[in-house]
Structure 1
Amino acid sequence: MACLVDNLMEDEAEKERLQAKPTCFLIVGKPGVGKSTLAKKMAESWKCVLVDDTDLLRTHINDMTEEGVELLSILSEGKSITDDVVLQLILARLHSPDVKHYGYVLSCLPFLSDDHQNIQKQLELIQNLKLPPDFVINIKCPDSDLVQRLSGMKKHPETGQSYSRDQWEGEEVYGREEENHVKELESEEEQRDEELSKESLDTLLWMPENLPANTLDRIHLYNDSVLAKLKDYMEGHNPMYLLELDGNSTPEEQLQCVMSRLGSMAVQPVAVPVLLNTALLEEETEDTEDILTSLSSSRTVAPGFWWRWSRWGQTCPVALKEGKNLTGSAEFSVGFQDKLYLLSSREAHQKFLTNPRQYLLPPMPRTPCRVSIIGAPLMGKSTLCRLVAQHYGGVVLDVEELLQPVFAMAEQERFEKIKVETTRAAIKKIKESNEEMLVTENHPAVQEILFNAMEEARKSSLPPIDLYAEVLEKHIKEIEEEEVSDNEDWAGWVLDNFPGKLSDVDVLEKSQILPDFIFCLRDTAEKKGNKDMIDRLLRKKKLLLQKKLEKHSNLQKVVEEDEGIVIYVTQLTL
């Protein structure tokens, strides 16, 4: 009983960690005060997502994304990227899946703008985020010190990286680095990289915006348009989560101050998935304990603590969430919160690393219903299909009913093609026997040949396997996409009396839609005492006959005798 209680407590603790909001940071300050530098160091240390406008634009352009191509098109025309475009890219990044798990550090909002209303709009967008900032870090620096620092900044023309005077001055760079850093290099390749970085210092450029006069103008614009509104925003923030840093201190000192504050408040970063070393699996094995032992020995959770199987076992949680019951592979193994997870593909592996929460939060997804119910006529297959689909929330698929309109259209096209080809061939054949005769499609001989050809075509009118597979696959895909778009889990389907023959099995294999279970209904009663089947058959025939008679008469009375003879008393409608 104690073990059961511990497991329940552990599950609740894991659930609480998964439901907890990731810690998010907003770094503000005057232009050039070091917001981006601190943000990069915090993102690396805290394992959260960096949201910086310059880094965001560079990433889109380097990766040649759809947005990156548009940005390159704008820049190639000699135009500047508008504030609205940058703002939309920032918001899209803040709503990305990895931010939902890891949190973010935002250093580019609010940015300078001539439109004061735009700045207020940016602050409102920050407040209305699904994951608003928990901590606001304000880097303060006197205007004179900031002007002096920025006036000594140089920028690399290719990378856009800025370097302070201490970094690019020859005496300090070459003197200090040759004494200290060269000693720490462990390989010749690292030494060559270091030498190249020194040579690249000669290409650094002075930027016009860093001139003292221009820098001072930017600071005044910030004080006039942003600072007042930003102070109002920070006054409404919880003072416990408001940090002020000295802008004259180094980025390392600022980072240490932030981490100390977070540690004193017992704020913990989110759990990060750990990539396990699968090279230890020399031979493929399906034994659960062998897989667990091999993977656990690569990287332990902590000294003395090995990875454990999760409640998913060897089932891929990503595939299960998407409605597929797939076994994971040790090649795509991940450790997360002391549990071991096996993913089924590289794509599933990447999705899990991006945001594992959406696949692990309860309720645990249920395997979609994939059932086929077959049997002899009048066994109640359709009724049972409806009941099973209703219980699991799935849909009933009557393949013959789905195929009927598609097959009718395909047959019409086939008959039209046969008619045209047969008529053309018949006219040509008759003309060869009598060249002087005027032969048209209405000629009796042509009509006779056409009639025989159409009769033969109707006799061979059977739906091809490819058409069955295409219709079934297309219909299931449409229903699945519709439910996913409505944010509903894919519940599955129930096939009504399919497959009924061996060729139908080929259809399922071709469309890659195989049921997990096939239930066959059959009558186990003795033939002599099988009165239920006789009654069911009579009722079905009665209903069919009743529907036919209702088209021509007003049905008034139905009498059923013991021998199964049905008498309809009707009054014909004239």
Structure 2
Amino acid sequence: MASSEEKQAQPFADIFSEDEAEKSFLLSKPTCLIILGKPGSGKKTLARKLAQIWKCIFIDALEVIQTNIQEKTEYGFKCQELLFKGQSISEELVTEMILKKIESPQVTHFGYVLSGFPSLSEEYMTVSQQVEKIKNLKLKPDFLINIKTEEDTLKKSEFLHQLVQRPEDFLENAEKRVGKYKDIMLHPLEDLMAEQDCERLIEVDGNQQPDDLLVSVAVQLQSLGVRTGAPITRLQCDEEEMLEGLEDGELFRVLSSYQLIAHSYRWRRSRWGKVCPVALKKGDIVMGNPDLAVSFSSVLSFLGKMYILSSLEALRVFMLNPRPYLLPPMPLPPCKVLVFGPPFSGRTTLCNLIAHKYKGKVLDMAKLIQPHLEKAKEENLEQMRRDIIEKAITAVKNRMEEQSTESAYQE
């Protein structure tokens, strides 16, 4: 009864909690989409454009290959090696790269738009096995977008014969691929779509122009309340401006006016202040570099805060996925406890109890220093071995020189 009276007494109280809204966003699952359709229906074009406007990560076989080569990853070196030898990249390797990309920190924050998977090729996995992979993904697709085409768009164009065509675009090859799609892929995909809720399945007419098709999908997603991703933008000024040495208040005032996404929309100071969120998550209080300030590129009020990173590496990992560094209980200042005492006094037991109670981490100096001692021991042994070999070689050379000198005198 008292609670109802309190509600009536404060009818205009703001029940919106910015901290709760921010926490809800950081814990939320990013939007994940899969584009389905027969070969030549425009899946890749739609997926690429949709990823751009929805701030998601575009995932496609060719895209992941090029990205791994550009970033010089282990997969990229494997792909380059195969291509330099004139060999094709195996379906198994492509599938591994796609699944690895879906599990990457960047996708964990932004979500994805997946095209070209399941694949018509059953060299590595059957279509049914690929569909099972989709069902068992850690980041399952939220929406399946099926492009339905009833007319043969290849035959419809009057000017197609005047254009440069790829071998797979020749009419006979395209018809063969479409036939294979209907034979081995259509039924598993229909079963997958039948398992989805009606709101999770979006069907669009593929006979539209690409831009109209994109608008049709975007309108349906917006009507379902799907939220776009929240990319990170660096707060930099077009002109050279010295930020070092500014007091905190003046510094944040200057940074709040950089890279505005709307008129009179200024960035706000976060609870981290000048402390680097990445360093703080690791247990260190490190002041950030004003030249490495960032914020979410979103008009959502609870995201319009500034964060200052301490290094380029911290900036890189934060821009890939800021969620682990912003989730509660952060920003939590680290508490470092040193436990010392004579042998057999219970130091280790006490450390473990404190760490368990306060969810801390035990750093045992004996264990930490052991690998360095072993490495130093190996280096010393290796140096001793080299010195002994060098001395032996020198002794042999000197002995051979003495023998040659004695033989010369005798002659």
Q: TM exceeds 0.5?
A: yes
Partners of 1:247 and 1:56 in 2: CA distance: 25
> How many angstroms apart in 1 are the aligned matches of 2:304 and 2:363?
41
Aligned to 1:391: 354
Secondary structure of the corresponding residue to residue 290 of structure 2: strand
Query: What is the distance in 2 between the residues matched to 1:245 and 1:73?
Result: 41
Task: Output aligned runs, 1:471-490, within 5 Å.
Answer: none
Q: CA deviation at 1:343?
A: 0.4
Contact kept in structure 1, 2:233 and 2:295, CA below 8 Å = yes
- Report if the CA contact (8 A) 2:55-2:230 is conserved: no
Which of 174, 182, 186 pairs up with 1:223?
182
Equivalent residue letter for 1:229 = P
Q: 1:318 aligns with which of 275, 278, 287?
A: 278
Matched letter for residue 176 of structure 2: D
Cross-structure match for 1:246: 205
TM-score, normalised by the number of residues in structure 1: 0.56
Write the distance in 2 (CA, Å) between the matches of 1:347 and 1:390.
Answer: 34
Q: CA deviation at 1:402?
A: 6.8
Q: Relative to 1, partners in 2 of residues 1:353 and 1:321: Cα closer, same or farther, differing over 3 Å? A: same
User: Does structure 1 conserve the Cα–Cα contact (< 8 Å) formed by 2:35 and 2:145?
Assistant: yes
Alignment of 1:370-381 (within 5 A): 370-371=336-337
Letter in structure 2 aligned against 1:39: A
Residue from 258, 261, 264 that aligns with 2:223: 264
Q: Which residue of 1 aligns with 2:133?
A: 125
Residue 289 of structure 1: aligned partner: 249
Whole-Å Cα distance in 2 between the matches of residues 117 and 394 of structure 1?
Answer: 43
**Using a 3 Å threshold, how does the CA distance of structure 1 residues 235 and 304 change in structure 2: closer, same or farther?**
same
CA 344–406 in structure 1, closer or farther in 2 if over 3 Å, else same: closer
Name whichever of 354-363 and 114-123 sits farther off.
114-123
Structure that is richer in strand per residue = 1
* Residue among 352, 355, 363 paired with 2:318: 352
- Matching of residues 138-537 of structure 1 within 5 Å: 138-142=146-150, 144-148=152-156, 152=160, 205-278=164-237, 281-300=241-260, 302-336=262-296, 337-364=303-330, 366-371=332-337, 387=350, 390-392=353-355, 393-395=360-362
AA at the equivalent of 1:316: C
Give the direction of change, closer, same or farther, for the CA distance of 1:327–1:111 in structure 2 (3 Å limit). same
3-state SS, counterpart of residue 352 of structure 1? helix
Partner-residue secondary structure (3-state), 1:113: coil
Which whole-Å CA distance do the structure 2 matches of 1:373 and 1:222 have between them?
A: 66
User: Could you say which residue in structure 2 is the equivalent of 1:58?
Assistant: 66
State how far apart, in whole Å, the 1-side matches of 2:158 and 2:101 are: 29
Q: Give 1:81 deviation, angstroms.
A: 2.2
CA contact (8 A) 2:243 2:290 kept: no
Cα 1:255–1:389 change in 2 (3 A) is same
| Cα-Cα RMSD | 3.6
Q: Deviations over 1:253-283 (max 9, x none)?
A: 0111111112222222122222211556424
| CA shift for structure 1 position 300 | 3.7
Shift of residue 290, structure 1, vs aligned partner: 0.9
Partner deviation per Cα, 1:532-567 (whole Å, 9 max, x = no partner) = xxxxxxxxxxxxxxxxxxxxxxxxxxxxxxxxxxxx
Cα distance between partner residues in 2 of 1:366 and 1:93: 31
Q: 1:151 to 1:361 in 2, by over 3 A?
A: farther
What code does the residue aligned with 1:348 have? A
Alignment CA distance shift 1:370-1:149 (3 Å): farther
Q: Higher relative contact order at CA 8 Å, sep ≥6: structure 1 or structure 2?
A: 2
- CA–CA distance in 2 between the matches of 1:250 and 1:94? 29
The structure-2 alpha-carbon separation of the partners of 1:307 and 1:6, relative to structure 1 and needing over 3 Å to count, comes to farther
Gaps of 5+ in 1: 154-164, 169-204, 422-574
Taking only the aligned residue pairs, the percentage that are identical comes to: 38
Partner of 2:29: 21
Matched residue type, 2:256: S
Displacement of 1:84 after TM fit?
1.4
State the AA in 1 paired with 2:50: M
1:331 alignment partner, SS class: helix
Q: Offset of 1:384 from its aligned partner?
A: 8.1
CA distance in 2, matches of 1:67, 1:311: 39
1:43 is aligned to: 51
Q: Does 1:12 align with 2:20?
A: yes
Native 8 Å contact 2:151 2:207 kept in 1: no
CA distance in 2, matches of 1:131, 1:406: 43
> Take 1:394 and 1:65, find their aligned partners in 2: how far apart are those partners?
31
Relative to structure 1, the CA distance from residue 220 to residue 271 in structure 2 (aligned partners, 3 Å threshold; closer, same or farther) is same
Residue 44 (structure 1) shift: 0.8
What SS does the corresponding residue of 2:329 show, helix, strand or coil?
A: coil
User: Judging changes above 3 Å, is the alpha-carbon distance between structure 1 residues 238 and 345 closer, same or farther for their aligned structure 2 residues?
Assistant: same
* Distance apart, 1:38 and its partner CA: 0.7
Q: CA deviation at 1:115?
A: 6.2
Are 2:100 and 1:100 equivalent residues in the alignment?
Answer: no
Contact 2:154/2:160 (8 A) holds in 1: no
Secondary structure of 2:284 counterpart:
coil
Hey, what's the Cα distance between the residues in 2 that align with 1:385 and 1:227?
61
Q: 2: distance between equivalents of 1:9 and 1:366?
A: 20
Which residue identity does 1:244 align to in structure 2?
Answer: E
Q: What is the deviation of 1:365?
A: 6.0
Gap change, CA 1:79 and 1:330, over 3 Å in 2: same
Which one is further off, 36-45 or 112-121? 112-121
Query: TM-score normalized by structure 2?
Result: 0.76
Distance in 1 of aligned mates of 2:170 and 2:241: 60
Query: Are 2:91 and 2:124, in contact at CA under 8 Å, matched by a contact in 1?
Result: no
CA drift at 1:100: 0.4
